[in-house]
Amino acid sequence: MSLITGSRKQLLTSLCLMVIFLDLPLVVFAPLLESLMDAFAIGPGTAGLIVTTVWVGSALSKIPAGYILTHFPRHHMVLGSGILLTSAAAVTALAPSIIVLAAGGFLMGAASGAYLISASPLVSELYPERVGWVLGIHGTATQIGVVLTPLFVSAVLLTSHWRLVFLLIAGVTVGATVLFYLTSKRTNLPTAGTADQHIHLALQRHWPLIFTGIIILATTGFIWNGLFSFYPSYLIREKGCPPQLARNMLSVAFVMGIPAFWISGRLADRLPHIPFILAIWSGLIVCLFSLTHVQEIASLVIVTAVLGYVVSSIFPVLDSYILKSLPDENRASAYSLHSGIAMFGEASGSAAVGLLIDQGYTYDSVFQLFGVGLGIILSILFFLYLLRKLPTNTVIRSPNN
């Protein structure tokens, strides 16, 4: 048993390294938008569509990945996603036009989506008795990569071209993929997902849970995607921040995700999920309106830090809610439906902000509108929770899976 536990710890470590690079496609374009707008002579609307293309790629890959997982082991999909990201990042680095850039970004997003659909159930099954804890660790690793991304991009842009960013992503992903392959060969992998062979049955049996998860994830992701994708541009154009400081402020928001994932992952094993998520949403509404009213650098840093902590707290709690409430025979399939469908809502955040800015709206007015919309959805979910219309059951799983 100690050998198995040790090998699973090593596999978890390699997955944490993988997720640092496989999550990069969803965040690396934000600190590059100003450079890409200059390089390809495009405006905010087109730039926002490029980011949306990446997220659409992630969304489109998730449901097919969930279907593939009904026929192949989780770790095979993880390996395939690493290979795909390596190839896609190389294509993006060499893109001669905005069309090729968008295609490369789409494939990078597809690799990220396929990874998350296969890795999240695998991670939860490594330690089924401590799902929130292990998802918090995996999410913390994600956030470490997110935090380092703007700093990494800034360092590259100071000394070289934006294309080097994607070449380096391709290089490090190769190493992480090889390490995961070697580790998985030595690990006694969980067998919990072997009965998960019918994606339509997962939808039929668990649609209330899937739909609830979609609403929460799509709403949060839409707001966060639209906000962080244009955050440097927002700070430069409406708050008067220097470009370098604006990019680094994005790191301030991302760095707060490290304690957020770590703490919320542990609390998710102890607190009721839906009230926890709605409380976090209340804090997010306060942050959105506070952000649009502060102007001084010190105040912006504080609000940015709190915003980053609050929004990052939602994701490990939501994943714990979904994955703990699903039986072994439907976990990956139902999770892929929840995450894949919700990703379309998340993906549209950047395009929505870009198009509204092109129409003459200010960033502040757009973010205030986000706060109002979130408040309306929060009120509806809270009312349904009081009426006990939201699924709250938790499946008890054997640790010997």
CATH number of residue 94's parent domain: 1.20.1250.20
Query: Does residue 398 lie within any of the structural domains?
Result: no
- CA gap 153, 248 in Å, rounded: 10
- CA gap 357, 344 in Å, rounded: 21
Query: Does residue 270 lie within any of the structural domains?
Result: yes
Query: Does residue 136 lie within any of the structural domains?
Result: yes
- CA gap 55, 49 in Å, rounded: 10
- CA gap 303, 291 in Å, rounded: 6
Which three-class secondary structure string do you get for the chain? CHHHHHHHHHHHHHHHHHHHHHCHHHCCCHHHHHHHHHHHCCCHHHHHHHHHHHHHHHHHHHHHHHHHCCCCCHHHHHHHHHHHHHHHHHHHHCCCCHHHHHHHHHHHHHHHHHHHHHHHHHHHHHCHHHHHHHHHHHHHHHHHHHHHHHHHHHHHHHHCCCHHHHHHHHHHHHHHHHHHHHHHHCCCCCCHHHHCCCHHHHHHHHHHHHHHHHHHHHHHHHHHHHHHHCHHHHHHHHCCCCHHHHHHHHHHHHHCHHHHHHHHHHHCCCCCHHHHHHHHHHHHHHHHHHHHHCCCHHHHHHHHHHHHHHHHHHHHHHHHHHHHCCCHHHHHHHHHHHHHHHHHHHHHHHHHHHHHHHCCCCHHHHHHHHHHHHHHHHHHHHHHHHCCCCCCCCCCCCCCC
What is the value of pTM for the model shown? 0.74
Query: What's the total number of domains in the chain?
Result: 1
CB count within 10 Å of CB 99 equals: 10
Report the half-sphere exposure of 178 (CA within 13 A, side-chain side).
7
Mean pLDDT value across residues 244-248? 81
- CA gap 217, 223 in Å, rounded: 10
What pLDDT is stored for residue 399 in this prediction? 42
pLDDT more than 90, % of the chain: 34
What pLDDT is stored for residue 6 in this prediction? 52
- CA gap 79, 208 in Å, rounded: 32
Query: For residue 19, what are the domain limits?
Result: 2-386
- CA gap 261, 308 in Å, rounded: 11
Query: Does residue 249 lie within any of the structural domains?
Result: yes
Query: Does residue 87 lie within any of the structural domains?
Result: yes
Query: Does residue 358 lie within any of the structural domains?
Result: yes
pLDDT in tens, 321-367: 888 887 777 777 787 788 778 877 887 888 888 889 888 899 999 99
Q: Which residue type sits at 127?
A: Y
pLDDT band at 211 (very low <50, low <70, confident <90, very high): very high
Query: Does residue 17 lie within any of the structural domains?
Result: yes
Query: Does residue 400 lie within any of the structural domains?
Result: no
pLDDT band at 398 (very low <50, low <70, confident <90, very high): very low
Report the half-sphere exposure of 334 (CA within 13 A, side-chain side).
27
- CA gap 339, 63 in Å, rounded: 8
Question: Which two tokens mark 137?
Answer: 């660790």
What pLDDT is stored for residue 189 in this prediction? 65
- CA gap 298, 10 in Å, rounded: 41
What pLDDT is stored for residue 190 in this prediction? 63
Question: Which two tokens mark 227?
Answer: 């906000």
By C-alpha distance, which of 324, 318, 325, 317 is closest to 339?
318
Mean pLDDT of the chain: 84
| 50-54, 62-66, 194-198, 365-369, range with the lowest pLDDT | 194-198
What pLDDT is stored for residue 400 in this prediction? 44
